[in-house]
Chains A and B, each alone.
Chain A
Amino acid sequence: MSVNIYQNSSFSDTPFGLKLQQTITSSGSVTGIPAGIQRVYAVCIGGGGGGGSSTTYAGGGGAGGFSTGWTFVPGTCTVGAGGTGGSLSAGGAGGDTVFGMVLAGGGAGGGGTTASTATRMGGAGGGAGTAAASAGTTSYTGAPAGTTGNPGNVGYAGGGGTAAATTGGAGGIGISSGGGGGASTVTGTQTGGAGGKGLIAGGGGSANTTGTGTGGAGGTGDLFAGGTGSTGTGILFGAGGGGGGYIAAGSNGSANTGGAGGNGGGGGGAANNSGTGGVGGAGVIYLYY
């Protein structure tokens, strides 16, 4: 079996001739750059947003931002953590990842009973819970973001999907896609909004009903799949799946607990009732020179 590295975007979206030299997963001093290397090509991915949690509507977390470019070699760098999952609250925003002058914001947390913290620097928006969805944010290069909607609107960083009865709004498509919105009514069949499709994907929203509830699937990433939402009859089911990350697939939702976002910025899935939202995928830095 042969492997073509140019089918892997972590190689093929960099200037020809460069090699992946370092993968940084921890904040602190930058070391190991050979003397004479003044500029490096950095790929930064922010942490994914955590999934929200609510007894009614809860949204999936947005994907972490994705930024690439040439930069000087800084003395230190920061790697954003994935946002924490909400517990009857919004999910936490993912952390910002910074290497020199390449910056990638974390994804917004999914809405729960409270609104999530706004994201920044290219992070995607979170899906709506009982609190409103959040929009994506303009990237550090100025690429436009998507606003909220049903489905969330397309942008470099997609907007979060709004909440709705029967089927939650899907997250907006983007390089970093938005989280899906929640679905809720007392009876009947409910399906949470799916995370948007993207290079890095947002998490699915939850479904709350005494009937058949199915959590929204985590968004499908270009490199890795999203997790499936949990399904079943009654309020103990309906959590959303985690979105596909740059490094790993999103986890499946399980009963009331949202699936974790895939490592490399995937958004966490939303939780239902007393469950906890899925944690967002961790950020990462790749250095080429």
Chain B
Amino acid sequence: MATFAIMGGNIVSNVILADNKEQCEAELGVSLIEYTLENPAGIGWIYDETTGKFVAPIPVDPVVTANDKLIEAGLTQQEIDVLIKEATQ
């Protein structure tokens, strides 16, 4: 059993288990690319044909980014939650 990414263009739309790539492609009518622990893939990841590697998408949620930066600055999640609560009161 191997793991495959179902591709929609160069973006992974699902990750599945299958016994045989060619047979599964024919049966499901999709394009598959095998991935491994060394070259992992996930839903929403982008396949780079040049390198043959899957690349995780860059998060774009501004709320997440701000939270990330505060944690990277040394604040705990609890401290951030308190700051947000104070700022919104």
B83 at interface (Cβ–Cβ under 8 A)? no
Question: How many A residues touch the partner, as a band?
Answer: 35 or more
The interface residues of chain A lying within 8 Å CB-to-CB of B43 are 92-93, 95, 106, 117
A176 at interface (Cβ–Cβ under 8 A)? no
Partner of A94, one of B15, B20, B45: B15
A47 at interface (Cβ–Cβ under 8 A)? yes
**Chain A: which residue is nearest B70 at the CB level?**
A130
Chain A residues numbered 79-103 whose CB sits less than 8 Å from any CB in chain B: 79-81, 83-85, 87, 89-96
Question: How many B residues touch the partner, as a band?
Answer: 35 or more
The interface residues of chain A lying within 8 Å CB-to-CB of B72 are 130
Q: For the complex, give the distance between the alpha carbons of A50 and B6 in Å.
A: 18
The interface residues of chain A lying within 8 Å CB-to-CB of B84 are none
Pairwise interchain contact B16-A80, C-beta atoms closer than 8 A: yes
B33 nearest CB across to chain A (Å): 13
Where the two chains meet, the residues of B that have a C-beta atom closer than 8 Å to any C-beta of A are 1, 3-4, 6, 14-20, 23-24, 27-28, 35, 37, 40-45, 56-59, 61, 63-64, 67-68, 71-72, 76-78
Given contacts A94-B15, A115-B59, A162-B77, 6 further A-B contacts (CB under 8 A): A28-B19, A47-B15, A80-B15, A83-B15, A92-B41, A95-B43
